[in-house]
Amino acid sequence: MLPWRRALRAAGLLRSAAAADSRPGTSRRTRCGPGERPVGRGVALPAGPDLRQFLRGAAAGEPRPEPGPVPGTGKVYLETYGCQMNVNDTEIAWAILQKNGYARTKELDEADVILLVTCSVREKAEQAIWNRLRHLKALKARRQQARLPLRIGILGCMAERLKEEILHREKLVDIVAGPDAYRDLPRLLAVAESGQQAANVLLSLDETYADILPVQTSAGGTTAFVSIMRGCDNMCSYCIVPFTRGRERSRPIASILQEVRMLSDQGVKEVTLLGQNVNSFRDMSEVQFQSAAAPVLSRGFSTVYKAKPGGLRFAHLLDQVSRIDPEMRIRFTSPHPKDFPDEVLQLIQERHNICKQLHLPAQSGSTRVLEAMRRGYTREAYLELVHHVRESIPGVRLSSDFIAGFCGETEEDHQQTLSLLREVCYNVGFLFAYSMRQKTRAYHRLQDDVPADIKKRRLEELITVFREEAARANEALVGQSQLVLVEGPSKRSASELCGRNDGNIKVIFPDAEIEDAAGCKALVRAQPGDYVLVKVTSASSQTLKGVPLCRTSLSRSAACH
């Protein structure tokens, strides 16, 4: 390196090419015209101060100005599509915008900025966004006629996957921000205010938003979601997530515990730990744990990547979170079946406030299809895990994901999936027809050769069998007492309350005066956030109904059982 370059870098006035490329919204492939600097692929800003001006200030001994937040103006309307991770992303984005002076509105017509937090998992999810943009196009045209500017932004996975198309189609969208670019939203909006489009879709290897406490969008709610990690390394052949959310990285445990304590102080009674592959959590922020051995995978399971040693693992996090508040239920989603070591199962069985409910996404009941999906297990290994889980956690409730009509799926493969549904008997299921996504391994290596009508028929058969088995599993609870966390009034009747039991099954019961197990003589009415013991009187595939017995607590109920 030339001496003058070394001196400038030492003074902090020159960055390496790699450092320059890591700035939010920059790309080495972006070509800018004279007097412009890159802010995203194909988007440029007028140039700011050049190096000579900084050198002049440094020579005069002037302190270099620190970049401050771009002041926000106007009201923001946020709309969320897709999974619970997107709901959490919405809360993170709003926390950033609120700190930078923006106001929030729930009225679309009042908004100066409309931000859609999007999903790319299936084509149907993306089509919903394009349809929404057509509606917003008319609104934006009316606002322009009235000389009231309206800025529209696409955030999240669809922004990451279709950035150029979103910006160029009809020139409707003003800003595009990927899942790792929410910190850059104030600057992107400032660019949009000047009439230019702005984009930042760079994926990060370390962004977890650990220092940002999400603003809970359901104020006063009894439940909350806490993101503990982002991205996924599993590279299942059908899945777009590694390409829209990047590689796995975990939040430091300290920041997670801080957020859970804050939620406990706010009266939240149930927290769900959230991540694309939540039980592969691996906090590398503490040096003394960086040489720890990698945990053992579930028996018969494998990965496409080498074992990752070091770090504090999910069992440690689950242990620490469950100790914060004995009256707070703990759940987690979405896990991968490969990451269920015995210490996690034992902890769930021992702690009264960790729900005895696990999500075990199978995707298919055919070993041949599972191999094509690159799931890393066979049907037999999956069933062995199910049996081990049920032996380790008596009474555990299971949920799963299934895909109908994956590439090359035969009728025999489909029948094997139906038989798996019957054999395992899940309480909750998420079933979808296969939707091929660009960039995935399936897109490049496999043929989407199952006709749409056959996918539809197979999906309907999966749903039918799932509902039959779920109804049978739920009917076994009739006559039993279930501890229910009250969430609020039933949507169908103001005279009934709704909540969920430990197995995450919806429970409906009359809003009536009941006794309090604490011993007070006066009758009480259950409120959101209360635990109520309910005797189940009837059941369907999705819902339990019953009569309330008494108001109680999580600890008291556990002691009685």
Q: What is the 3-state secondary structure (H, E, C) of 391-459?
A: HHCCCCEEEEEEEECCCCCCHHHHHHHHHHHHHHCCCEEEEEECCCCCCCHHHHHCCCCCCHHHHHHHH
What confidence score (pLDDT) does residue 455 get?
98
Q: Are 302 and 329 in contact (CB under 8 A)?
A: no
Q: Which two tokens stand for residue 354?
A: 């960790």
Contact by Cβ (8 Å): 281, 319: no
Amino acid in position 240? I
CATH 3.30.750.210 fits 216-351, yes or no: yes
Contact predicate 14/8, CB 8 Å: yes
| Residue 115 per-residue DSSP state | E
pTM tops 0.75, yes or no: yes
Where exactly does CATH 3.30.750.210 map onto the chain?
216-351
* Portions of the chain given CATH number 2.40.50.140: 480-560
> To which H or E segment does residue 128 belong?
helix 123-145
Could you give the CA distance from residue 183 to residue 94 in angstroms, rounded to a whole number? 10
Residue 48, pLDDT score = 46
Distant-in-sequence, close-in-space partners of 546: CB < 8 Å, separation ≥ 6: 482, 507, 508, 509, 534, 535, 536, 537, 538
The sign of the CA dihedral 360, 363, 365, 367 is negative
What does the alpha-carbon distance between residue 452 and residue 481 come to, in Å, rounded to a whole number? 44
CA nearest 192: which of 175, 167, 216, 171?
175
In sequence order, the 6+-apart residues with CB closer than 8 A to the CB of 2 are none
CB-CB contact of 156 with 166 (8 Å) = no
pLDDT for the residue 224: 93
Per-residue pLDDT reduced to its tens digit, 417-441: 999 999 999 999 999 999 999 999 9
Say which CATH architecture domain 480-560 belongs to.
Beta Barrel (2.40)
Q: Which of 431, 427, 429, 391 lies closest to 500, judged by CA?
A: 427
The answer as to CATH 3.20.20.70 being correct for domain 75-200 is no
Distance between CA atoms of residues 153 and 147, nearest Å: 19
Q: What is the pLDDT of residue 292?
A: 79
**Collapsing DSSP states into helix, strand and coil, what is residue 314?**
helix
- pLDDT tens, N- to C-terminus, the chain (561 residues): 544 444 434 444 343 333 433 333 333 333 344 343 333 434 444 444 444 443 444 444 444 333 333 456 689 999 999 888 999 999 999 999 999 999 999 999 999 999 999 998 888 889 999 999 999 999 999 998 888 889 999 999 999 999 889 998 878 999 999 999 999 999 999 999 988 999 999 999 999 999 998 877 554 589 999 999 999 999 999 999 999 999 999 999 999 999 999 999 999 999 999 999 999 999 998 877 777 778 888 888 999 888 888 899 999 999 999 999 999 999 999 999 999 999 999 999 999 999 999 999 999 999 999 999 999 999 999 999 999 999 999 999 999 999 999 999 999 999 999 999 999 999 999 999 999 999 999 999 999 999 999 999 999 999 999 999 999 999 999 999 999 999 999 999 999 999 999 999 999 999 999 999 877 778 999 999 999 999 999 999 999 999 999 999 999 988 886
SS3 525: strand
The reported pLDDT for the residue numbered 399 is: 97
CATH 3.30.750.200 region(s) of the chain?
356-474
Unique residue bearing structure tokens 């032996």: 391
- What confidence score (pLDDT) does residue 293 get? 79
3-state secondary structure of 340: coil
Distance between CA atoms of 271 and 225, rounded to whole angstroms? 6
Instruction: Give the per-residue pLDDT at 60.
Output: 44
Q: What is the pLDDT of residue 331?
A: 97
Collapsing DSSP to helix, strand or coil, 504 comes out as: coil
Delimit the CATH 3.40.50.12160 region(s) of the chain.
75-200
pLDDT, residue 69, reads 38
Q: What is the pLDDT of residue 209?
A: 95
Helix (H) or strand (E) holding 513: strand 513-516
356-474 maps to CATH 3.10.580.10: no
